[in-house]
A and B are shown apart, each in its own frame.
Chain A
Amino acid sequence: MEYVLMKGNEALAEAAIRAGCRFYSGYPITPQTEILEYLSWRMDEIGGEFVQTESELGGINMMLGASAAGARVIGSSSGPGFSLFQEGISYLVAADLPAVLVDVMRYGNGLGDIGQSQGDYWQLTRGGGHGDYRTIVLAPNSVQENVDLTHLAFDLAEKYRHPVIIGSDAAIGQMMEKVALPEMEEHNIDKFDWSMKGCKKGEEQKKITNLLYYMDNYDEFLANKYKEMEENEQRWESMEVEDAEVVLVSYGISSRVCKEAVKVARSQGIKLGLIRPISLWPYPIKAFRELSASCKALMTVEMNILGQMVDDVILATGNKYPVHKYTTVKDVPETEVIIEKANKILSGEEV
């Protein structure tokens, strides 16, 4: 295997190209701008289309058109821009259109700040736009996963005809690591029977809009689609969970510190384990079946103010264990603090 050294955002952009994506429309915002910049020359080189739009609203609605025309499309943004994506995401869902959307999360409400954070968990996993929908959300924790999950995201988007989100963060987007890139794939825009091509005489016209207008059992159809995703698309990594007394739950950049913490704690005789959700939705509830009688508590380790993932852990464990949180917001969590908190939990102190 040949490796190259690449920045997370650029590796993700290259992965999209290699997955056959030939359309990007977007707008600059830190810390995702490298995706836009990279694709501005790379799309040109490969014969794809790149449009720097007037706003994220223009971008997502342009992507919707390109997707309706049968292309593999990607868009990326961060915080304030991702909020503007929500209109289009809801429309993509309604029209059963595939698209891959990247949120390289940054810190804070409103304009916030450009530093790393994991504050968009609720927005990404609960829908975020109007209506009742959810999207598959994949959370990479390395540059390599930025590549692998981008490829997977396109496949899943097509499999379900649904937008798929990559919930990355500033640290993963900005760091450089060695990465193996996949082979180049071509995508055939005529391969879908549902896409726009021009309506030939005697053919059924393609109507790309709210599917509910044309389906009697739309509610059931959509409910089943989500059920299928929940059954088939849970992804996670676990570490030393079988006999763990305290199980950490963490994704993205903070999960890397947790891995280190598990190793250090184990060397000190503290039984720490880790569940790392790779799919934030569907939430990997199956992972929590690995918990044993030895588990005394769980602790989410996340970079936001409110501990946005706690509720999902409570739901996944059927409220059988106490669930604590260690939230660092802007700073990457620290191994020592994790171990300190685990010790406190085990000795029954407040954390």
Chain B
Amino acid sequence: MELRAPESISFAQTSFCPGCGHGIVSRLIGEAMEEMGLTEKLLTVVDVACSSLHIDTWKFDTVIAAHGRPIATATGVKKIRKDNPVLAYLGDGAAYSIGIAETMHAALRNDNVVTIIINNGVFGMTGGQMAPTSLEGQKTTTSPKGRDTSKTGQPFDVVKVMGSLDIPYLARGSVSNLGDIRRTKKYIKKAFEKHMNNEGFCLVEILSPCPTNLGMAPVACSERIDGVVKEFFNTGEYIDKEGTK
């Protein structure tokens, strides 16, 4: 079988688990850059968690930032390299837990970076602990009886928190089925278009399977997203300043 992938994505051995959504998003970014003619310009900043594994599979100049700080670091990169597209890429633990201040304030300043946050509902890299996005009742290694929201608070919904901010773009996609993968790629491209237009902070959250830590087969893990996760985390475009929604 002939393998085809954007030039910026290598077929080198990857360390992502089978069925992981990070790999799909990696490819979507590669395709989007190729189609937009930005492959040789993109600068990326990734978190230390599973996001960091991209550094060996794509061929963009990349910084691995401290856990939770990729958006702040990406802002620093963009301030110096104004002509380059700059992407901050991180997990939901990084973005909404340890890095919530960096995430919120980049949005409040409307920093001109594209941010992609992988919402897989757990801390992946450290072995499946509860994340701010874990659903009510979800079993994780630190919520073994299921997440009890009376003790842990509600799952973090970026759309509710950021929906009213003065930023140009906020969307939530998913990579759990083919239709969603196509739509998510459109969201990514739109975010980069607005970014290259210097409109400001563009955020795409992506629902993504983590079969390893959910202890599910890849297909079942994706089906869970479509059946259960999307009930809580609806997908779609929430802020689109140019009004193409």
Stretch among A202-210, A220-228, A253-261 lining the B interface: A202-210
Contacting residues of chain B (31-71) with chain A, CB-CB under 8 angstroms: 40-43, 45, 52, 55, 59-66, 69
Q: Is the CB of A198 within 8 A of B79?
A: no
Stretch among A55-63, A103-111, A118-126 lining the B interface: A55-63
**Bound-state Cα–Cα, A297 to B75, Å:** 53
Q: Is the CB of B81 within 8 A of A196?
A: yes
Q: Is the CB of A206 within 8 A of B61?
A: yes
Q: Is the CB of B41 within 8 A of A198?
A: yes
Q: Is the CB of B65 within 8 A of A65?
A: yes
Q: Is the CB of A61 within 8 A of B61?
A: no
Q: Is A66 an interface residue (CB 8 A)?
A: yes
How many residues of A are in contact with the other chain, CB < 8 A?
Answer: 40
| B75-102 Cβ-contact flags toward A at 8 Å (1 or 0) | 1111111001000000000000000011
Q: Is the CB of A25 within 8 A of B59?
A: no
The answer to whether residues A201 and B62 also contact, given A23-B76, A25-B76, A58-B101 and a CB cut-off of 8 A, is: no
Contacts of A64 in B (CB 8 A): 63, 65-66, 69, 73, 76
Q: How large is the interface on B (under 10, 10 to 19, 20 to 34, 35 or more residues)?
A: 20 to 34
The answer to whether residues A51 and B62 also contact, given A58-B72, A64-B73, A65-B73 and a CB cut-off of 8 A, is: no
Contacts of B77 in A (CB 8 A): 65-66, 68-69, 196
Contacts of B66 in A (CB 8 A): 61, 64, 87-88, 91
Contacts of B63 in A (CB 8 A): 64-65, 68, 95, 196, 208-209
Q: Is A242 an interface residue (CB 8 A)?
A: no
**Bound-state Cα–Cα, A213 to B105, Å:** 31
**Bound-state Cα–Cα, A62 to B66, Å:** 11
Contacts of A61 in B (CB 8 A): 65-66, 69, 72-73, 76, 102
Number of A-B contacts (CB under 8 A): 132
Interface-central residue, A22, A61, A95, A205, by most chain B CB under 10 Å: A61
Q: Is A19 an interface residue (CB 8 A)?
A: no
Contacts of A62 in B (CB 8 A): 72-73, 75-76, 79
Q: Is the CB of A199 within 8 A of B55?
A: no
**Bound-state Cα–Cα, A302 to B243, Å:** 64
**Min CB distance, A44 to chain B, in Å?**
13
Interface-central residue, B78, B79, B102, by most chain A CB under 10 Å: B79
**Bound-state Cα–Cα, A70 to B76, Å:** 11
Q: Is the CB of A65 within 8 A of B55?
A: no
Give the contacting residue for B80; candidates A23, A88, A95; CB below 8 A. Answer: A23
Contacts of B43 in A (CB 8 A): 69, 196, 198
Give the contacting residue for A57; candidates B61, B102, B109; CB below 8 A. Answer: B102
Q: Is A49 an interface residue (CB 8 A)?
A: yes
Q: Is the CB of B76 within 8 A of A199?
A: no
Contacts of A320 in B (CB 8 A): none
The answer to whether residues A196 and B61 also contact, given A69-B81, A209-B52 and a CB cut-off of 8 A, is: yes
Contacts of A198 in B (CB 8 A): 40-43, 60-61, 81, 84
**Bound-state Cα–Cα, A191 to B52, Å:** 27
Which of B's residues lie within 8 Å of A, judged by CB? 7-8, 40-43, 45, 52, 55, 59-66, 69, 72-81, 84, 101-102, 104-105, 109
8 contacts between A and B (CB under 8 A): A49-B80, A51-B75, A51-B79, A66-B80, A88-B66, A206-B62, A207-B55, A209-B64
Which of A's residues lie within 8 Å of B, judged by CB? 22-23, 25, 49, 51, 53-55, 57-59, 61-71, 73, 87-88, 91, 95, 189, 196-201, 205-210
Instruction: Pick the 5 closest A-B CB pairs, nearest first.
Output: A65-B76, A209-B64, A69-B80, A65-B73, A61-B69
